[in-house]
Structure 1
């Protein structure tokens, strides 16, 4: 892994083409999951269009894999050049006012470059919420990648305790909020891409309890290896907020749906996002 990570990025992109061919045509990596997700999310498209989207996703995913590897040797100057924040004032205005901020992202574009590049763009610590991987080697490898520019990590389970302990310390807390929750007592159901979709409710509870402004992080691919991060305020951190109304989660779902429809091949379709089904007692908003 270290040897591959040391290769120049243009060489790694050559490797990505090999990975793309293997995943799309030989291994057919999670092909049933990918095509099912695409069919359900875009019922207006034909079967040929679904297959074309799947191929575009596999190429994106292969490039994403080598970009994550390359992160091990990327310099701060290179990351700043490849990840732009055209309206970072949306977040910095809150920081300059003395507030911590909750930033909500998704598995779109290259989400692994966001925490590392964000740390370089801000004057306060960037803290990522993560779920430890089952494989110890890859968990350690990814932990080192994500923290190599000075960003911090906190596990999902420890987030509330961490925020309480660091209440007086300014920071940007970053979460990927499009994951699929299994616990019926901790999820909110809404429609996403024509499907009943469950979301974690942690963003609403964190914002309400700690009076955090909330910013949506739109990860947009400009071209291969270059990304634009557009920020959108979902909550100002000062208005009244009832966490049981899930105002923030609903706003996040609508922004996410808009971004996926704008660049469908750049989303993580191999993930079983809709594997959990709504129970009879749970209603869809």
Structure 2
């Protein structure tokens, strides 16, 4: 069944990826209508999330943000497909690195880099970052259940020299390279929700106490890597700008969880400023009332 789904969808995705952007976004407009008005894809989850983190906003403003988000979501779906055939030149034009010199400065410290970012704007096109740095690039991801699409995603990312590694592979892969003297830059999407267990770190995100992933921070501290935040903004439809914000040159010197908290504060600023570009379909706050008692 997995292979059948793959061979049915792959030609469609490839055909979409070859379309010019002006046609791509006409299709995106249709996808928006389908997602928002017809299917209502996770509309309740999105609404609940927005009402939870913006309790003072009136219903009509929540609705406006929700509509803008679904338009952005549709664009992202089509842009993800476009990644299959987009050229390096085109991707650099559409995903502009504002301060590439900061990567060079961090490289000169002769320390591997942990790059943290959230599900904001276009995290998919961040794979172009590898073209601005000499360190070997990795991105931590959750394996797809469909093995054929999982292989396809790995192939797409690797054409820009960024290699995907699963969460289970992360420590071994990065440690092995570090031991061998190979400096790396590893990207972590760190704003998702881990299980609400006793040993997990509970921090504040958008003013709400939630369990937080701390794997990126722990790896940076244990191996004394530098830590940076990738601040991605949407400039206009189909165009993004990213800024490298250094959080720590010597991560081991920071108290536990401080880097995680600083990352969340940086991401919050972007969400408060332009909320429609955050990934509201994810149930990020589902464990907010489940903190185990000690």
| TM-score (structure 1 length as normaliser) | 0.93
What's the offset of the Cα at 1:281? 2.3
| Alpha carbons of structure 1 residues 24 and 238: separation in structure 2 relative to 1, 3 Å | closer
| TM-score (structure 2 length as normaliser) | 0.90
**Alpha-carbon contact 1:91-1:215 (below 8 Å) kept:** no
Provide the rounded CA distance (Å) in 2 between the counterparts of 1:179 and 1:250. 14
Aligned match of 1:175: 188
**Alpha-carbon contact 1:40-1:194 (below 8 Å) kept:** no
**Alpha-carbon contact 2:139-2:188 (below 8 Å) kept:** yes
What's the offset of the Cα at 1:10? 1.5
Q: Deviations over 1:33-73 (max 9, x none)?
A: 00000000111111111111110000000001111111111
Q: Which of residues 149, 152, 162 is equivalent to 1:141?
A: 152
Aligned match of 1:220: 233
What's the offset of the Cα at 1:241? 3.2
| Alpha carbons of structure 1 residues 200 and 11: separation in structure 2 relative to 1, 3 Å | same
What's the offset of the Cα at 1:279? 2.2
Aligned match of 1:272: 283
| Alpha carbons of structure 1 residues 276 and 52: separation in structure 2 relative to 1, 3 Å | same
Aligned length: 279
Q: Which of residues 169, 187, 191 is equivalent to 1:158?
A: 169
Unaligned runs of 5+ in 1: none
What's the offset of the Cα at 1:254? 0.6
Q: Deviations over 1:77-120 (max 9, x none)?
A: 111111111222223211123221100011000100002x1011
State the secondary structure of the residue aligned to 2:168. helix
What's the offset of the Cα at 1:185? 5.0
**C-alpha RMSD of the superposition:** 1.5
| Alpha carbons of structure 1 residues 135 and 271: separation in structure 2 relative to 1, 3 Å | same
Q: Which of residues 254, 262, 269 is equivalent to 2:265?
A: 254
Provide the rounded CA distance (Å) in 2 between the counterparts of 1:84 and 1:196. 34
State the secondary structure of the residue aligned to 1:273. coil
Q: Which of residues 218, 223, 226 is equivalent to 1:205?
A: 218
State the secondary structure of the residue aligned to 1:184. coil
Provide the rounded CA distance (Å) in 1 between the counterparts of 2:293 and 2:176. 36
**Alpha-carbon contact 2:222-2:252 (below 8 Å) kept:** no
Aligned match of 1:237: 250
Aligned match of 2:95: 83
Which 4+ residue blocks in structure 1 deviate beyond 4 angstroms?
A: none
Quick check: 207-216 or 94-103, which moved more?
Answer: 94-103
Quick check: 224-233 or 3-12, which moved more?
Answer: 3-12
